[in-house]
């Protein structure tokens, strides 16, 4: 989706009912880690570097008796009973209820087939307003501001705290509630454009159906680079590559469709951690191990802002085999003249900048390429709702992504 939108560096914001998952994609490659946490267990296996916080549409807002300070999550109303606005027996105020009260969610979801209980949402959020001694709208906006800050904190963990400047990344919001929050979180991060992809609610399912098959193997190799033969490293990598290619071949993938990649884990001698570097056989043959150490110094400086005079040490060798890429042609929208009025459903009001403001609700299915949508505006579709805030503008690209930028 990012490639279709002409973007290479993306922060992802996957907001569901109970949690928000965030990750970092640099140059169209997602960041990976070799150790992940499952509960209190540390699992040493390759995985995508995804961080999760308890911030979603069903996250419950409450005011503790001790502090009298508004909190949101990680407790969730779940699917049953869910938010009060869903009319399924929920009584506790949630993020979704706050969005309903503020006018960010229209009266019905799922293409108009699922009616929301706006009055029920107002009653639930009023309990927060009464506990804090403030107005209903201020309480609802406070709930949204806090949950956005929680998402912001998770995004900082996978960007700023990993040595990345979020201003060099776009922010893509998906999941059922991602496009509702992506504009506000992009403002906090300084990550533009904020992107609402086509069919954001089922983007994860599309990814599952189109992802490349991947297998890898690793081998410990603890030795100073200065005492290591380039030919020995290449021979080991080729041996490991043959092993991983055989695994994919056993899954029915033709050898010509398999791509091999290598990774080397490098550190300064005496360090307790290493930095993984991706490399191919041709580059290793051309630049040698000196090229590897030069790349390591550059990456170490980016991550930690300094380098050391210590000797370089090779720690692990890794071979990766990838199956073919499933290239799906994205359907292109008919081109418009920039005026989105043909997709307008009706005029609307929502809370922005401390007051109710006029806004417009649009039908995403009727938008055309190059349509420009000034905020505040709401774009509805079957599986999600996109909020374009005041002071921002959304532009529809050739394949239907909505790219939101400051006006």
Q: Residue 333 in 3-state DSSP?
A: coil
Alpha carbon distance 23, 239 (integer Å): 32
Q: Residue 298 in 3-state DSSP?
A: helix
Nearest one of 300, 232, 296 to 263, comparing CA atoms: 296
**Do 214-322 and 1-211+328-407 fall under one CATH topology?**
no
Nearest one of 361, 376, 373, 375 to 400, comparing CA atoms: 373
Q: Residue 9 in 3-state DSSP?
A: coil
Identify the burial level of 340 via C-beta atoms within 10 angstroms of its C-beta, where 0-12 means exposed, 13-18 middle and 19 or more buried. Answer: buried
For domain 1-211+328-407, the question of CATH label 3.30.420.40 is answered with yes
Identify the burial level of 214 via C-beta atoms within 10 angstroms of its C-beta, where 0-12 means exposed, 13-18 middle and 19 or more buried. Answer: middle
Query: Positive or negative, the Cα torsion across 217, 220, 226, 228?
Result: negative
pTM: 0.85
How many Cβ atoms are within 10 Å of 133's Cβ, its own excluded?
Answer: 8
pLDDT in tens, the chain (407 residues): 898 899 999 999 999 989 999 999 999 989 888 788 777 888 887 888 899 999 999 999 999 988 999 999 899 998 889 999 998 888 999 999 999 999 999 876 766 678 889 999 999 999 999 999 999 999 999 999 999 999 999 999 999 998 899 999 999 999 999 999 999 999 999 999 999 999 999 999 998 888 889 999 999 988 999 999 888 999 999 999 999 999 999 999 999 999 998 999 999 998 888 888 988 888 888 888 999 999 999 999 988 889 999 999 999 999 999 999 888 888 899 999 999 999 999 999 999 989 999 999 999 999 999 999 998 999 999 889 999 999 999 999 999 999 999 99
The pair of three-digit structure tokens given for residue 269, joined into one six-digit string: 């001698």
User: Largest Cα–Cα distance of the chain, in whole Å?
Assistant: 73
Alpha carbon distance 385, 284 (integer Å): 48
For 214-322, the fitting CATH number among 3.40.50, 3.40.1350, 1.10.3470, 3.30.1490 is 3.30.1490
Place of tokens 């108009």: 112
The pair of three-digit structure tokens given for residue 114, joined into one six-digit string: 């699922």
Which pLDDT belongs to residue 281? Answer: 82
Alpha carbon distance 58, 80 (integer Å): 10
Tens digit of each residue's pLDDT (9 = 90 or more) over 339-354: 999 999 999 999 998 9
Which pLDDT belongs to residue 112? Answer: 66
CA distances from 46 to 33, 42, 223, 297 (A): 6, 12, 23, 23
Which pLDDT belongs to residue 163? Answer: 84
CA distances from 305 to 31, 277, 302 (A): 19, 18, 6
Which pLDDT belongs to residue 110? Answer: 67
How many Cβ atoms are within 10 Å of 167's Cβ, its own excluded?
Answer: 10
| Whether the Cβ atoms of residue 381 and residue 392 lie closer than 8 Å to each other | no
Q: What are the residue boundaries of the structural domains of the chain, listed by start?
A: 1-211+328-407, 214-322
Tens digit of each residue's pLDDT (9 = 90 or more) over 176-226: 999 999 999 999 999 999 999 999 999 999 988 888 899 999 999 889 999
CA distances from 108 to 85, 338, 380, 385 (A): 10, 27, 10, 11
Which pLDDT belongs to residue 171? Answer: 97
């Amino acid at each position: 989706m990012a490639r279709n939108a002409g973007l290479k560096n993306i922060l992802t914001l996957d907001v569901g009912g109970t949690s928000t998952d965030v990750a970092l994609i640099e140059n169209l490659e997602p960041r990976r880690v070799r150790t992940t946490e499952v509960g209190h267990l540390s699992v040493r296996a390759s995985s995508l570097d995804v961080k999760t916080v308890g911030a979603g549409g069903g996250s419950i807002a409450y005011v503790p008796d001790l502090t009298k300070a508004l909190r949101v999550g990680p407790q969730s109303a779940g699917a049953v009973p869910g938010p009060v606005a869903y009319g399924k027996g929920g009584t506790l105020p949630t993020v979704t209820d706050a969005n309903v009260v503020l006018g960010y969610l229209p009266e019905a979801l799922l293409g108009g087939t699922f009616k929301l209980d706006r009055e029920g949402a107002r009653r639930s959020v009023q309990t927060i307003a009464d506990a804090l001694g403030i107005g209903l709208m201020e309480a609802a906006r406070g709930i949204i501001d806090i949950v956005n800050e929680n998402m912001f904190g998770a995004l900082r963990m996978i960007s700023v705290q990993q040595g990345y400047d979020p201003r060099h990344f776009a922010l893509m919001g998906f999941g059922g509630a991602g496009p509702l929050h992506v504009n506000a979180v992009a403002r906090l991060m300084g990550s533009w454009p904020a992107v609402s992809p086509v069919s954001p609610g089922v983007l994860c399912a599309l990814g599952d159906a189109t992802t490349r098959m991947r297998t890898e193997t690793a081998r410990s190799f603890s030795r100073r680079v200065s005492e290591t033969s380039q030919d020995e490293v290449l021979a080991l990598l080729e041996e490991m590559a043959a092993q991983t290619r055989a695994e994919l071949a056993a899954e029915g993938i033709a050898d010509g469709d398999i791509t091999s990649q290598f990774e080397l884990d490098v550190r300064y001698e005496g360090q307790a951690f290493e930095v993984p570097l991706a490399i191919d056989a041709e580059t290793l043959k051309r630049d040698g191990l000196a090229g590897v150490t030069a790349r390591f110094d550059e990456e170490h400086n980016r991550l930690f802002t300094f380098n050391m005079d210590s000797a370089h040490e090779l720690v692990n060798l890794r071979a990766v085999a990838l199956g073919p890429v499933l290239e799906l042609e994205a359907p292109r929208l008919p081109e418009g003249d920039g005026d989105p009025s043909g997709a307008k459903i009706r005029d609307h009001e929502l809370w922005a900048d401390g007051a109710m403001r006029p806004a417009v609700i649009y039908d995403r299915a009727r938008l055309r390429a190059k349509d420009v949508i000034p905020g505040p505006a709401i774009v509805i579709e079957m599986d999600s709702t996109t909020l374009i805030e005041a002071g921002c503008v959304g532009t529809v690209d050739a394949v239907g992504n909505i790219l939101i930028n400051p006006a």
